[in-house]
A and B are shown apart, each in its own frame.
Chain A
């Protein structure tokens, strides 16, 4: 069975990518399962989707924890534990990263035994935006069981609602990636089932009763959400040019939906990059246009994004 996991940020098209691959494998004669998985987070936050494909009917369900292929739309997610990109990866897992850092660099940084392929963003793709279509083309090639015509048919089925020009652009991007990785045709091998002999037993416990004061789902501490680094959602960052900032009455801070811009007694605004989601409301509202937009550094695995 093929077990493929797609990682991206909400809005980057990984759910659609998983569906195109699901349809392509279905058209290629496989039994298929595909599904997205969302958390509480919204646009910009990490999400994942998965596809299973087998020649026989599929009994497995739910999250894939032993993937054969992990495709990542945005390589900044690799360093983010909450994104779970590295979950269950072993030496047989192929990792496909959309980004500019070379595969060998990732292998070294992450100490990975399995192959890592990178897919450079297309020239026409805006900085910070992943191309779901390129990921789709690359995944089809790495699987080696989806031919060009099947890939084209699957894209048409899933994206028909977008209109002809969008469909053509996506097909073109997917086929370009498909061709770029021609040398890696069939690099992904199907994984087997979890064996029932000599398996690792679950570490079940006798769950004890806790006092209700502890066992109630209530939070007794203030503002604990600040421990959540929503700054990791950002693909671009606002940067204040303090030479141009006229120390106004903190418009940027008032309008920032996240409470992520603080203004001290000197009326100098400071952006909290741990939490700024990169919505750029501050950029549009700054009366002196003192806030610039810069792309986040791509592929910094050590969490150097803030």
Chain B
């Protein structure tokens, strides 16, 4: 394993085939290609229903290794079947260690935060040796961005079009996962590729359930110019709305603590999904609440020494 210290340690050669049907400027695809470069082609991705269902459309696949599409609820169960089968084949000497594959679950937030959560919990209970990559674009993107359990408070989605947007709050999936005490949990952002790469390298060297959530800016669902994907991803981290952190060995650590957090409005106002918080009238109370929640998070994080 190469130690990732800076950008120069990132792969310059890209494994994921181009030509996928993902939207131009897709933050999820950006995360996937960065992850794939590090994991390599000796992998089998087990996919759930979401935007990336359509990564492989017969006869086209972007993967140089393997891929299995299951269903929205059960990608971790598919990973269980593949992992167990490979272990059985190894145990019987029917395949060599060189033929073995890493098993990677790939789902969106719709599956990860909701329908697939029981299957993920089960896979962690069973100590399944797998990596889970969630591309979190904070809504049911593939069906036109309806709100999901990952949608942030106040966001306009296809099913929350009111003046104050989505009334619920983004579920803390990181903590739910970490409460299972798996081998590794991390949040990443493809706008921070070095941090992402370090975490994927860490995950790669550990055994057992390893789960990673990538905040994946979505020009189509979040309503911004595709060219802004990285800029918005960076802002999410710099304003503190998307904390970069990892859980291992019972401890949570923040891998990047913004020295001085930028105001959350700077992040919100660049996205059409929050436009109603600024026009025609500025929703000051709601904006203050969103800021207070971010501040509250970081106050707690600092207090516990994370």
User: Which residues of A does B touch, CB under 8 Å?
Assistant: 39-45, 217, 219, 221-230, 233, 248-251, 253-260, 262-263, 267, 272, 274-275, 277-281, 283-285
Contact = CB atoms under 8 A, between A and B. Distances in A.
Contacts of B230: 255, 281, 284-285
Contact of B33 (A44, A259, A267, A283): A259
28 contacts: A40-B54, A42-B23, A42-B24, A44-B24, A45-B21, A217-B58, A219-B59, A224-B17, A224-B59, A227-B19, A228-B19, A248-B7, A249-B7, A249-B8, A250-B10, A253-B14, A254-B7, A255-B190, A257-B22, A257-B27, A257-B30, A259-B33, A275-B18, A279-B219, A279-B227, A280-B225, A285-B230, A285-B231
Given A250-B10, A257-B33, A279-B226, A226 B18 contact: yes
B10 A249 contact: yes
Contacts of B227: 279-281, 283-284
B6 interface: yes
Of listed B24, B60, B219, residue having the most chain A CB within 10 A: B24
B193 interface: yes
Nearest to A224: B60
Interface stretch (B62-70, B76-84, B293-301): B62-70
B41 A233 contact: no
A235 to B, nearest CB: 10
Contacts of B193: 254-255
B70 to A, nearest CB: 14
B202 interface: no
B155 to A, nearest CB: 19
A260 B63 CA distance: 15
Main secondary structure of the interface of B (DSSP, over half): loop
A121 B230 CA distance: 32
A-B pairs, top 6 by smallest CB distance, nearest first, are A223-B17, A275-B18, A279-B25, A228-B19, A277-B24, A279-B24
B34 interface: yes
Nearest to A228: B19
B31 to A, nearest CB: 9
Interface residues of B, number: 49
Contacts of B14: 253, 259, 262
B12 A263 contact: yes
A230 B20 contact: yes
Given A40-B57, A281-B227, A254 B18 contact: no
Contacts of B229: 255, 257, 279, 281
A104 B29 CA distance: 42
Contacts of A222: 17, 41, 61, 63-65
A217 B220 CA distance: 30
A257 B65 CA distance: 19
Contacts of A259: 14-18, 33
Contacts of A40: 21, 54, 57
B65 to A, nearest CB: 7
B16 to A, nearest CB: 5
Contacts of B63: 222-223
Given A221-B61, A228-B20, A259-B16, 8 more contacts: A40-B54, A41-B21, A42-B26, A226-B18, A255-B229, A255-B230, A262-B13, A280-B225
A220 to B, nearest CB: 9
B226 to A, nearest CB: 4
A42 B220 contact: yes
A258 B36 CA distance: 12
Contacts of B219: 43, 279
Contacts of A249: 6-8, 10
B1 to A, nearest CB: 19
B228 interface: yes
Nearest to B142: A42
A226 B65 CA distance: 14
A254 B34 contact: yes
B56 interface: yes
Contacts of A42: 21-24, 26, 220
Contacts of B30: 255-257, 281
Contacts of A277: 24-25
A211 B170 CA distance: 49
Given A278-B24, A279-B227, A260 B18 contact: yes
B194 to A, nearest CB: 9
B197 to A, nearest CB: 9
Of listed B41, B55, B61, residue having the most chain A CB within 10 A: B61
Contacts of A262: 12-14
Interface in B28-54: 29-30, 33-34, 41, 54
